[in-house]
A and B are shown apart, each in its own frame.
Chain A
């Protein structure tokens, strides 16, 4: 059974940092690209970041570029999101999701997100 479990959420002051983790199981983690998606309270879904299966290619939404860093440890089947210079508008539930068919800069015959974690809440407040 595919499982994605986020952790590391919590309360942080504006300007602070936080690192989220996403522990994967039930599939060969190093064979898949991954994404982070967030959802502000009462709002819709927003793509945050993507990383290829090897960790050598990383991508970010403009809203988090230069502040967030995505990485992965394939030996531990874990995805990370290092968040810095946090702002109140970064407050959200952060989901990790598995990506199928996408490799850096292109899609194969199919391109989609299939499995999602349950999310980690990040609260930014003084």
Chain B
């Protein structure tokens, strides 16, 4: 079973910029893994934010952006807002029907 690794937790102050990363146990993450990012708040379903590494859904706030950084998929929040406090998950596609979620990053806004 492939392991996808995210930072367990990050803390940021309002207005700052923070980058979350998503690493694959098989090596460098590329666009061929179609990285997806999701936000989940307590008691809610996940909400899609980013797909295919950099693309935003119509509902994704402009302050969220996706990229590849140092062999990992990355989610950057520019100008963090208090309502961004949540758990963030990445999802990588390994071919066939092999999809693997990262363990999640708990983002705290203090």
Contact = CB atoms under 8 A, between A and B. Distances in A.
B46 A105 contact: no
Interface residues of A, number: 28
Report, as a range, how many residues of chain B touch the other chain.
Answer: 20 to 34
Chain A at the B interface: mostly helix, strand, loop or mixed?
strand
B51 A110 contact: yes
A11 interface: no
Interface of B: 1, 34, 36, 38, 40, 44-48, 51-52, 55, 57, 89, 91, 93, 95-97, 99-104
A113 B45 contact: no
Interface string A95-107: 1000011101111
Contacts of B44: 118
Interface of A: 35, 37, 44-47, 50, 59, 62, 95, 100-102, 104-107, 109-119
Contact of B99 (A50, A62, A95, A105): A50
Given A44-B89, A45-B91, A59-B96, 17 more contacts: A44-B103, A45-B38, A45-B101, A47-B91, A47-B100, A47-B101, A105-B97, A106-B95, A107-B34, A110-B52, A111-B52, A111-B93, A112-B36, A113-B48, A113-B91, A116-B45, A119-B45
